[in-house]
Structure 1
């Protein structure tokens, strides 16, 4: 092997670049790239608030949805408020009706969250200060850790003292202050021990929700609409699984009424949970029944298999992360979006990228008239793209048009910085060859001072977009920052070493 080439390949900065390249290629091969809604399509959901809201409330709704659907901003999810009642949600890589319906359920469940024990609400969504990642164990048991406020912990400790095994209920947007009219089998289930988590001495679910949420449950025995109106006494009437004509009759009487249809094949306990927005009940552990307030708690469960355990844990995690919103959303329209550019765009982007790479190679060559400069500059740009794409594959980052623009911006900056390094190395006087090594290091130092100053300015500007904006601008900012960081810490130092050996010491 050529002595100079061996020195280059054994340099630690070049070795670091090689390791990043190998890792990125492995990531691309193992995980592949995912693309955003602009390229691979997705689904658009239009939601409407329960009532018109002011701009501040709309901002809160949009921010909460954005953070819930995309905690780290790495998936192509766009949430936009329009006017005082419309919210548009676009999610990439959703092609099935089942996935779209799950998103619909998540959006519509942005109501008020309650934690209840023995008929007392001891906390709401505002009392949940942290939700940790859920854990699935080999025996298909699961756990979701979370933290509650000090006041909620103290209240719960007082309520739960000496009641190990009693049911702890969680509700998301239950029908508070209502008259719940249900069939006989549902009424019997709610007044039995089916929701007592194995504690027969605990009060039945119907009594707990009466005390905690002012929900009165009555069994439907062919009462007329007028009789139900009198029983409700001004409350909202919730009809669940009873004749539909009652809804129309009560509507005609200007009564606030909601109707919930029991789907075919739905068992009674599942239907009760749907009516109430109930999650649980969860059995109270011994460690929480000693009367000592504990802010760090967890919900645990067990499933028949890992898939079910994952689904149960994820549901609890999502509900806990929901918190509270001042207004409820209802999805009024759902439309699948075809790719705007699709496979043709991917091919065109590939061809354009290769053409740009060739253009960089030729322009740099005609400028310096030296292939020893042109080839490393073009190669470094190619390596930078591979590393950025490898990171995108590793974190399952949905690449959309702004993200690709960010990559291009980072690469453009990289070529400029490589030219700065090259010009500095070529700027030494030939008469000073006797101190060429010291001179090369000094000139590289000057070049990196300029490079770091430029990178700091770019990162500062992109950080502003990252902090204060969401959606596409955020994706552009993230890609640009990652590209710049890869450049200044991996590819630029490696290029400087290669250029120093090929140019500075010849």
Structure 2
């Protein structure tokens, strides 16, 4: 008996399940789950284009909106196209009308794209006449060709003459004519040569944005709201970056236009600066553009450590160049707030439903087999499966909404069916000699796993269709169902088979 127990514990399937279970528990402990707006609360906005658009244009609209809303410092944003005219925007943890109206303003604005060099704006989105398809080279370098207007090309040629290696910046919706209050470390980074490309002698990013956009940057040193207002005289707004949140409340009480940008978890000073300014670049100026001759056909180039990263970087620049001004006007036609209290109720009910489902599974399996040694492992495996799914969701920061939770329950329900198939096959063998019993067990396990893999394949195929071709809440349901099925057939189901063989006396 001890030998069989030791053999079970050292089985690689049991070890794999244990490792994934421990890893999931640790992940959930250090990285809490994130929830969608139907659980955590938030606002959902429905925007409509002026006229129907094709799929490519709609993708450009959604990508552009995602980038713009990210600059606001909002978390848990989803932008989804629904048909050829409707865009659904969901933002979690937004409960005030002021925040919602700010989001509405961003959605309905066309946005402004700027090209800047040495503190001078030489072109805007209106000067981008054409954007070519980006190219990825075998060495993972990339290029995005585009054409600028004759006037922008002439202005740029004059500015760039003899300045090879100097930084060329691109901005999407920077905070023009504003006062930025930032942490001291952020101020020092902006005032260093970190954003100077290959020309340390060039003006710093802080100098460039001050000249180009009249953005004043001040390091936060416990200034009062009154002191900040004095510094902001003549500015359109104040941008608070990673400073105490109570300043926002105090300034808004004084009828000051304020934009508050918190630092995301683990976000570096460099990344925070890029996000707040809507900055793309800086790009090092090539020698071919420093001869003083206007060139309308230009390109942005870069390199990446792998092809996937190169694809992402090139795609981002392509989208920014194309979306300097949205290709179609959007109007917000609907807005709905979802209360966090209602979400807390959903979360509690989902927890109770999960516990009730596990108890029900335990009792039904027991009454079917009249053996606790079968019922307990089946229910325990379902619990382990749920924990691993939640661990994966926490690891990749998947926003759990009600359809996602329904997908988890559906996957676990499928798992119980498959465990019963395994159990029935094990109980259906004839008890003859040890050798024939082992041979029979292998055949029965083969039959059971054939059924399991066939069932899993059909489920994944059906859910993949929803994941690819549908939008909205169906995606969450499809994703968690597929994740649960994969975890089941690769991790929990093989481990349960080993446990069941041990408990039912098979070897």
Query: What is the TM-score when the length of structure 1 is the normalising length?
Result: 0.62
SS at match of 1:429: coil
| Cα distance in 1 between the residues matched to 2:437 and 2:322 | 61
Aligned positions of 1:136-285 closer than 5 A: 147-150=142-145, 162-164=162-164, 168-170=168-170, 172=172, 266=232, 285=284
CA contact (8 A) 2:169 2:283 kept: no
Equivalent residue, structure 2, for 1:93:
93
Q: 1:505 — aligned with what?
A: 506
Q: How far 1:347 sits from its partner (Å)?
A: 2.2
Q: What aligned pairs does 1:324-343 form with structure 2 within 5 A after superposition?
A: 325-329=326-330, 336-339=337-340, 341-343=342-344
Q: How far does the alpha carbon of each residue in 1:89-125 deviate from its partner, in whole angstroms, 9 at most, with x for none?
A: 2222334678657745653565474647694688578
| Cα distance in structure 2, aligned partners of 1:395 and 1:278 | 27
Map of 2:15 onto structure 1: 15
Task: Measure the CA separation in 2 of the matches of 1:399 and 1:77.
Answer: 13
Shift of 1:434: 3.6
Pick closer, same or farther for the CA change 1:152–1:96 going to 2, 3 Å.
same
Query: Structure 2 CA distance, aligned partners of 1:29 and 1:317?
Result: 39
* SS state at 2:91 partner: strand
Structure 1 contact 288–294 (Cα < 8 Å) conserved = no
User: For each residue in 1:182-212, what CA deviation from the matched residue of structure 2 results, as whole angstroms up to 9, or x when unmatched?
Assistant: 9xxxxxxxxxxxxxx9879xxxx9xxx9xxx
**Aligned twin of 2:365:** 364
Partners of 2:171 and 2:280 within 8 A in 1: no
1:297 maps to: 302
Unaligned runs of 5+ in 1: 132-144, 175-181, 183-196, 210-262, 299-314
Match of 1:471 in 2: 472
State the shift of 1:489 in Å. 0.5
Q: CA deviation at 1:290?
A: 5.0
Among 286, 289, 296, the alignment partner of 1:288 is: 286
Q: Could you say which residue in structure 2 is the equivalent of 1:24? A: 24
Partner of 1:415: 416
Give the equivalent residue in structure 1 for 2:432.
Answer: 431
Alpha-carbon spacing, 1:339–1:125, altered in 2? closer, same or farther (3 Å): farther
Matches within 5 A, 1:119-130: 119=122, 126-127=131-132, 129=134
Unaligned runs of 5+ in 2: 178-195, 213-228, 240-275, 291-297, 304-315
Aligned to 2:306: none
CA gap 1:375/1:54 in 2 versus in 1, 3 angstroms: same
8 A contact 1:407–1:483 mirrored in 2: yes
Whole-angstrom CA distance in 1 between matches of 2:110 and 2:498: 55
Query: Does the C-alpha gap of structure 1 residues 31 and 278 become closer, same or farther in structure 2, counting only changes over 3 Å?
Result: closer
Secondary structure, aligned partner of 2:54 = helix
| Aligned twin of 2:271 | none
When residues 427 and 355 of structure 1 are mapped into structure 2, their CA distance, relative to the original with a 3 A threshold, is: same
Does the aligned pair in 2 maintain the 1:169–1:279 contact within 8 Å? no
The whole-number CA distance in structure 2 between the counterparts of 1:483 and 1:278 is 40
Q: Counterpart of 1:237?
A: none
Map Cα deviations across residues 435-458 of structure 1 (whole Å, 9 max, x no partner): 222321221122111111111111
- Does the CA-based 8 Å contact 2:38-2:401 persist in structure 1? yes
Count of residue pairs the alignment pairs up: 386
- The separation in 1 between residues aligned to 2:288 and 2:468, in whole angstroms, is 43
Q: Secondary structure at the match of 2:504?
A: helix
Tell me which residue corresponds to 2:484. Answer: 483
Q: Is the 8 A contact 1:437 1:504 kept in 2?
A: no
Deviation at 1:388, TM superposition (A): 0.6
Q: Distance in 1 between matches of 2:169 and 2:234?
A: 17
Distance 1:279 1:319 in 2: 10
Mapped partners of 2:167, 2:77: distance in 1: 39
Q: Does 1:450 align with 2:448?
A: no
- Is 1:385 the counterpart of 2:383? The answer is no
Q: Deviation digits for residues 71-91 of structure 1, max 9, x if unmatched? A: xxx95736466996x644222
Q: Which residue of 2 aligns with 1:54?
A: 52
In 1: Cα distance, 2:101 partner to 2:39 partner:
22
User: 2:14 touches 2:495 (CA, 8 Å); kept in 1?
Assistant: yes
Distance 1:44 1:32 in 2: 23
| 2:45 is equivalent to residue 45 of structure 1 | yes
Question: Do the aligned partners of residues 278 and 422 (structure 1) sit closer, same or farther apart at CA in structure 2, a change above 3 Å counting?
Answer: closer
1:214 is matched with none
Q: Match of 2:254?
A: none
* Whole-Å separation in 2 of the counterparts to 1:454 and 1:279: 47
Provide the C-alpha distance between the structure 1 equivalents of 2:349 and 2:486, rounded to a whole number of angstroms. 27
Matched, 1:404 2:405: yes
Distance (Å, rounded) in 1 between the aligned partners of 2:102 and 2:318: 15
Q: Give the structure with higher Rg (CA).
A: 1
Deviations 1:114-137 (A, max 9, x none): 647694688578458499xxxxxx
Give the aligned partner of residue 377 of structure 2. Answer: 376
Please report the RMSD computed on the Cα atoms of aligned residues, expressed in angstroms. 4.7
Report the counterpart of residue 355 of structure 1 in structure 2: 356
